[in-house]
Structure 1
Amino acid sequence: MLKMVTSLKLQDLIEEIRGAKTQAQEREVIQKECAQIRASFRDGDPLQRHRQLAKLLYVHMLGYPAHFGQMECLKLIASPRFTDKRVGYLGAMLLLDERHDAHLLITNSIKNDLSQGIQAVQGLALCTLSAMGSAEMCRDLATEVEKLLLQPSPYVRKKAVLAAVHMIRKDPELSNIFLPPCAKLLRERHHGILLGTITLIMELCERSPAALRHFRKVVPQLVQILRTLVTTGYSTEHSISGVSDPFLQVQILRLLRILGRNHEESSETMNDLLAQVATNTDTSRNAGNAVLLETVLTIMDIHSAAGLRVLAVNILGRFLLNNDKNIRYVALTSLLRLVQSDHSAVQRHRSTVVECLQETDASLSRRALELSLALVNSSNVRAMMRELQAFLESCPPDLRADCASGILLAAERFAPSKRWHIDTILHVLTTAGTYVRDDAVANLTQLIGEAQELHAYSVRCLYHALAEDISQVSLPLPSFGSPAFPTLEFEWFSPQNSSQKLVEDKAHLLLRLLSWPGAYRLQLQIQLSSGECRPPRQSPGANEM
């Protein structure tokens, strides 16, 4: 008589897996149970199929292979029992996707279930279609989903709207099918249906110019819905921290931004409402801040009035003073997007942006650096460069290269004088060292060569910088390559112009430079031997070296 092995229940399997003390014990338990699940599938017991598949789905969630349960999902979906359909649809969402041809086999089952009058079954079918429906499945089932958009049951309509969103993303050519029902769905007061409808309209507008033109006619209706939310609210059930349905408000604002972009008439219709939302929203909670941020982004993306745009930038300026790092980061990111179109308005918050450079959070300081560099112009270049150079001296290593590169680019673009430009490049070279771009020295050499009146000044600055840090071996290259060096030789080493000790220090520095192991040693030796820049003569009375 064969010994029957009793299969574990799902709860017992979970407890046994959690009780495993090692990974090997866990694998042993799972392998043993998977073998029993396979045997049960081969036996074809319909009463045990959904229980075995439920255990297999748990094993799949732990990361173990469960592909042998795909066909069992199809059998359970085709079953008339709701308990079987529930587990079967769940298994299809987890185990099937477009990469598996088996997913096409459930199209007829989903179509039959959508045609039934049982709301729970229709909901399961719509959820599965939204989760793993391919473009081919969406084309086959679009008509059934369209019919469900006008069903009396809010539960089914809500899920049908979400399925329609998935269909549009998979196949934008289905847009014409879902355009007519949207007008009626916008009159709904059900939170889920209205939220899904707004999302559906957004997808339609982003993928179809015809749909965008069509839905610009409903801007007044959207404005009225949002005004009702702001003033009275649809229901307290969806209020968060005193803000009436912030999720719906955010979605409506995003849709208004799409509809008002590059369209003056639509923008004019929503201007007053945007001003009302911007001034009346409570900012003491994150829910209010989320609504306010979307309002700001909408204002900046449409044809809004100048005063409204200034109000939006000022709101972002207040965000920079918030204690929440996430809000400060969002403000910096938003201002960075706006700086090109509204440079003067963002400039008013320059001091606050510069203060954000000292943030301990690396993401905040990086975003503040990007915005600070974007704010540099010809009128504030001196003040901004002082702040950025101070930040360069203390910034983390992972920001030093970006900071140095940004300073050099800004100095090249907005330098008020050549002497200031040389000083700035030299400061970056001595501060950032190896973090500076390779072409910085070449640019400095070219700049010195073009400024004949600054040759002597440049050589002195480079000499003193090198004397402070011999490791900056690239610094003297511009001076040796400069036409000023041969003519300044006498001034460098002449006892009449320098003290005896200073002459010796200069000669010693040059000899140290020649003996320093570096990429420029050979070039310097070639210059010296060719007579382009002669080695320093030893002054009378100087010590032997």
Structure 2
Amino acid sequence: MASLREKIAQGLKTGPKFLKEFREFDNLVKAIGECKSKAEEDRIITQELELLKQRLSDPKLDRSRGKEYMIRLIYCEMLGHDASFSYVKALQFASDPNIHTKKAAYLALTQFLDCNNQLVLLLVNTLLSDMKSDNYLIVCTALVATTKLIGADLVNAVYPVVVERLRHPKEHVRKKAVLALHWFASLDPRRDGPLAGVELDKHFRTMLCDKDPSVMSAALCALHDCIKADPRPYKNLIPSFTSILKQVSEHRLPKSYDYHRFPAPFIQIKLLKILAALGAGDRASSENMAAVLHQALRRANTSHTIGSAIIYECVRTITTIYPNPALLAAAAESISAFLRSPSHNLRYVGIDALAGITALNPAAAAEHQVAVLDCLEDPDDTLKLKTLELLYKMTKANNIQVIVDKMMGYLATCPDEHIRRDIVRKVSDLAERYAPSPSWFVSTISEVFRLGGEHVDDGAAHRLTALIAEQDAELHGSAVEAYLALLDGEGGAGAGGQQAGGPRKKLPETILLVICWVLGEYGHLARRPPAAVLSRLLGVLTAHKSATDRVRATLLSALTKLAAHTGGAAGPVGTALLQPHSSGGSSPGSDAAAFVHACANSQNLDLQQRAHELQALLGCPPSLLAAALPADAARQSFSAAELAEVAALPFLDSMVERALAAGAAPYLTPEARGKATELQAKGLRFEAYEPAPFAVPLSGASTSYGTAAAADARSGPSSSGPSGSAASTYSSAAPAEPQLVLKGAGGRRSL
């Protein structure tokens, strides 16, 4: 410091040169802060990079300003500009004897490069030299750079020197060496790469007993990662961890490690996480740490946030290890302060901790039920969502109505589709498991369908209709009245137009399918006349102009059953369905006839079939109609043998036999069709092709390839010249060359 003061004083005496060196970076920061646009900022940074490029390439570079240059380069890179021209110069500055320049260069390199950059190879010798320095600050700087820049392929080059630094007299160096070994362990967690055969665990265990708490804390971090990967080799360290936790909680460490009068809270939290990993599913290990956990929980308090953090970590550890009733009771008691806190964060922590306790001891949540329900009134949506998850775990037969009412109230106001889907799933599941009565189940699930029908799966609708079918006529009638009221609220009164209170609120498709099914099966039990039920059913089409074919098909079936149960073709519903279709009029009868006529002429085959079945069934005698569509037929059950007989379709056997006798192709199963398709699939052919004929006549040629070849062979010996005998010899030794005979041509051409 004295030398720095002297240099500043000398600079003030000699002129503004020294002050100028410090002023340039300050001016750069001010200029960037005053920029009005990104383009202006880019222009300033580009100019700065050009200036630095000239300065660093100058043979007469002033190395005393290396620290300033490195900081300015970091600033430029931080703003998204490329300063790769300076990487090699930063490597050179890392070897500078000035410690400030060296630290600035290392800092710049950790920002410019990563462990996969090839330039790091040029830094290894500098790192090794600095780690052997007599100045412990330089050693610490090199060890920190090692944790940032050394990759798996260079670990073996620096590992021996790092291990030697574990015995350094300065605790800062030993701590940095442990952190460097921790980095090496993360590069090869399974010890099957560059660290194969290296006993890193031995070094961590040794440094756990270091006399300095900071070194011990670094060893705890390394051991925590090792234990998370495989806790079994570290079970024998449980006494050591519990002893350290006991000493820390009893204020055995120096006061400098206290934080808001809590003894080394971060070391306590790390130890609690380690004990949770070691005690999970291990009864013996959990019993060995129970007393220390209880002591740590008792000594912590909620006077400050860090104390709440210790309590929360104690509760998490207690709920992770093998269950201990005494510890669970103490944990449940300790979180009551969280649930009563005005802080959203602490209440969230309390809800999360109570969820963990409830999973092991459901009775512990009973005393906090009111506080948990109050959390649903909080304006914090994150807290509400966490509370809903806890309520789902707390629900039993004795509190389901209160909890479901709270969930439904939140569902009605929640705008988030993901949360709505989750609430619909939770309420449906709870209603199926803990419903106090069938009528409550029907009303609750119907309300779920109304509020979140777009998130309900078909399975829930099927389970609802199955439950309704199993009940008595009283519940059938109440379900009919409830669903008619639902249609009244939608405003679907035939062609009645808009609802008095404003535009109609459309019901989801799922609840529409259930309503159509219920009114078709049990609509005759309604207290209002059948014509009114028909009007409400037709109102579905009025309220839903773009109703899907699935809804229309279900509505057709409902109209068919309702007509069959209310007097058949002579009843009010049957009369309306079978009256002649006319283009004018808006009465329920004309609307019903128009709907049936439209379905009978639809391009959808399912709608066609249902419409023609409706017309055919209503034209049958009443006795046949009653036999085909009996009242309350949904309650009937069939045995497996009856279902198998129906699935076999025996009444079609005679028709199939006649078709086969007439030459029809037999039925192929999907598996057989798939195999046939595979055989016919296109692909490469690997077997040899059949040999082609020797000659093929073209365009009516009377001479084949074989005949032409034979004629050439016969005429070969009679050729004049010395080549005749050679040709004859060649013809007898090799097959004749195939010739192509062209019609009208004067000669032959070789293929």
CA distance in 1, matches of 2:553, 2:284: 67
Judged with a 3 Å threshold, the aligned counterparts in structure 2 of structure 1 residues 30 and 476 are, in CA distance, closer, same or farther, namely closer
Q: CA deviation at 1:361?
A: 0.4
1:131 aligned residue: 148
Deviation per CA, 1:479-514: give whole Å up to 9, x if none: 4324x735643x44xxxx54xxx7775454334223
The 2-side partners of 1:234 and 1:151 are apart by 22
The Cα of 1:367 is off from its aligned counterpart by 0.6
Partner of residue 23 from structure 1, selected from 30, 38, 41: 38
* Structure 1 CA distance for aligned equivalents of residues 530 and 280 of structure 2: 70
**Paired residue for 1:258, among 266, 272, 277?**
277
TM-score (norm 1): 0.87
Partner of 1:102: 119
Which sections of structure 2, spanning at least 5 residues, go unmatched? 1-19, 492-505, 576-585, 589-751
Residues 1:472 and 2:517 aligned together: no
Q: Deviations over 1:69-114 (max 9, x none)?
A: 2222222223344333212211111010134222233222212211
1:258-407 equivalences in 2 (<5 Å): 258-303=277-322, 305-398=324-417, 399-407=419-427
Over 3 Å counting, the alpha-carbon distance change for 1:237 and 1:447 in structure 2 is same
Could you list the per-position Cα deviations for residues 102-154 of structure 1 after superposition, in whole angstroms to 9, with x for gaps in the alignment? 22332222122112222111111111112233222333322221111121111
Indicate yes or no: 2:481 matched with 1:446. no
**Unaligned stretches of 5+ in structure 1?**
1-5
TM-score by length of 2: 0.64
AA matched with 1:280 = R
Moved more, 512-521 or 31-40: 512-521
The alpha-carbon deviation at position 201 of structure 1 amounts to: 1.8
The yes-or-no answer on 1:533 pairing with 2:559 is: no
1:444 to 1:515, Cα distance in 2 relative to 1, 3 A: same
Whichever residue aligns with residue 527 of structure 1, its letter is S
Among residues 475, 492, 514, which one is paired with 2:541 in the alignment? Answer: 514
Q: 1:184 to 1:433 in 2, by over 3 A?
A: closer
Residue number in structure 1 paired with 2:257? 238
Deviation sequence 1:17-46 (CA, Å, 0-9, x none)? 223343322221111111122223333536
Deviations 1:255-278 (A, max 9, x none): 222333344443223211211121
- The amino acid across from 1:129 in the alignment is T
Cα distance in 1, alignment partners of residues 243 and 490 from structure 2: 68
Pair 424,487 (structure 1): closer, same or farther in 2 beyond 3 Å: closer
2:248 corresponds to which of 229, 246, 264? 229
Q: Shift in Å at residue 305 of structure 1?
A: 2.8
How far, CA to CA, are the matches of 2:200 and 2:294 in structure 1? 33
Q: How large is the Cα RMSD of the aligned pairs?
A: 3.0
Residue in structure 2 matched with residue 418 of structure 1 by the alignment: 438
Structure index of larger Rg:
2
**1:68 counterpart SS class:** helix
Write the distance in 2 (CA, Å) between the matches of 1:131 and 1:338.
40
Identity of paired residues, percent? 23
2:91 aligns to what? 74
The offset of 1:251, in angstroms, is: 1.5
Instruction: Show CA shifts across 1:447-494 (max 9, x none).
Output: 333446443332222112221224226435324324x735643x44xx
Relative distance call for 1:303 and 1:514 in structure 2 (3 A) is: closer
Higher RCO (C-alpha under 8 Å, 6+ residues apart) = 1
Structure 2 SS opposite 1:152: coil
Tell me the SS of whatever aligns to 1:360: coil
Could you say if the C-alpha distance between residues 203 and 248 of structure 1 is closer, same or farther in structure 2, counting changes exceeding 3 Å?
A: same
- Tell me, yes or no, if structure 1 residue 458 matches structure 2 residue 479: yes
Give the stretch that moved more between structures: 449-458 or 49-58.
449-458
Q: Aligned residues, how many?
A: 525
Q: In structure 1, how many angstroms separate the alpha carbons of the residues matched to 2:468 and 2:347?
A: 42
Question: Which structure carries more helix by proportion?
Answer: 1
The answer to whether the 8 Å contact 2:454/2:508 transfers is no
Structure 1 residue corresponding to 2:517, chosen from 464, 481, 488: 481
> Higher mean Cα deviation, 159-168 or 471-480?
471-480
SS across alignment from 1:90: helix
Alpha-carbon offset, residue 320 of structure 1 = 1.6
Residue 419 of structure 1: how far off its partner (Å): 2.8
Deviation at 1:379, TM superposition (A): 4.4
Match among 181, 184, 193 for residue 203 of structure 2:
181
